Structure 1
Amino acid sequence: MKNSLLVKILLLVILVLVVIGGIYIYEDKYGGKDPIVKDPVIITDKSDLIRVTEPTPNSVIKSSFNIKGQARGTWFFEASFPIKLVDANGKQIGVAIAKATSDWMTESFVPFEAQMEFTVPKLAEGSAPQVATGTLIFQKDNPSGLAEYDDELRVPVKFELSAPAQQTVLLYYYSPSKDKDGTGNLMCTKQGLVPVQRKIDITKTPIQDTIKLLLKGELTTAEKAQGITTEYPLQGFELKAASLNSGVLTLTFADPYNKSGGGSCRIGILWSQISETAKQFPGVVSVKPWPEELFQP
């Protein structure tokens, strides 16, 4: 009975000592004050420093859009400050410089304007349009380079992703069975050319895009089954430039291994595939290769 009582008393003493020790540690660490919150408080409202009126938060922006607002003169340096556009992954996809439209040497609000252009990421052909998110970052211009003077305002925006607009073009390849005389001999003429349809993205360089696609020589299984063939691609042979002047299209190629040379029949077929493919475009009357020694027997 006495042993049981002694055990209880001992446990009570230990409990009291633990409580007293905990109180001592708490007082020593915080001095009787509330615990210090170490996580920084993120302030997103900076309307006392900068105000953006265009675009508004979460609005859909296009590949070229205007930016307007007001910022205190202290946000500028030499009447400007940088603006960045990042996608949802933080990758920078656009940049612009905001310019003050009145005297910036003041602590009052100063109106600013900017225009930004960026390339909207494209989806695969046939994909349904999607809306992606991004962030406009208005950075305080800090010529000192000291981190304590950095500041920024982040405005969430959206932009629509869509499949690129496309156009149908013809690639001319060769079918030997369509280029024979009455006795079955190969004639090596344009009579054997066969057009196949392809789609390319609409760009500012449709002729170059089409010729480059032709030079890949990518025939489908069905086209090959019809007897359509080509020697393209040729090792190292590639289109470098295209120039259209007064109806004459000059195509500049690289041919480090002289793969465009050979017998007259072969080079005639190779060149006719290129020239006929190029002539489908408005304004192209004739086509010539450069350097001149290309496609020579």
Structure 2
Amino acid sequence: MEADTKTGTAQAVRRNKPRRRTAHIHIALIVICAVLCAPVVYALLGSTQNNSQLLNFRLSPGEFFGENLSVVWNDRDLWRYMLNSAVMSAIIATGKAITGILAGLAFVYFRFPGRSIVFVLVLVTLMMPTEVSILALFGIVDDLGMSDSLAGLTIPFLASATAAFLFRQHFANLPANLSEAAQLDGANPLQFLWRVLIPMSWNVTGALFVIQFLYGWNMYLWPLLSVSGSENQVVQVGLASLQAAGEGQSYGPLLMGALVASLPPVLVFLALQRPFMTGFALTRDK
């Protein structure tokens, strides 16, 4: 009888250990989420306050939401900057997806001399940040008469080594008999790409589009250098102008502008969340 009691106690202890471990993990995750969300909550509160309320660390919403929103949206034309950034980012993301798909098709399904060398040279460009060649790039764009225009903002960034590598890996892991079956059916390479490869690559394309849209949305140095007027300027440069919004330095409009400017990337991610997650899951599994 005593042995049964000890056995039951030992089993109960073993059952409680996973529960305690799970509880500790949940507590740790809650703390991490609270720390990560604290700046967003502070920005939400600060965007509704004036300087005195913000500097006094008021922990409740203020009464200046409409005024701060009017400053950034109407007085500082943030809507125009956001529209320019949205168009630029969509063009860059779409262009990189198209060129990446075509590059992946060439590297996997075409045989040409020096194919491996060309692919290595493409990968080498991943180690060259834009800042290294930005002055030379500006000279080329200016000589072509594309400075201070949407073409000058987007055309230099329509190709991506990341996209070429991603689609090359994706196509290389597809069944090899797909291309053979397409050739037997009389399909040319573009028909094979359009009817077979692209329908099988929507998840990877969605994941790439999200990443490249965020890349275009966060561009600051190149638009600051290549665009001189405010008509074609982008949101990151527009946010910098909010540092003098209102009388002197006003922090409420700064926080309001940062929050409003973060909405389009969030909406793009939410719209493409499933292909984004699935695309990277497929890449990881392969």
Relative to the length of structure 1, the TM-score reads 0.20
Higher helix share: 2
Higher RCO, 1 or 2 (CA under 8 Å, sep at least 6)? 2
TM-score (norm 2): 0.21
Specify which structure has the higher proportion of strand. Answer: 1
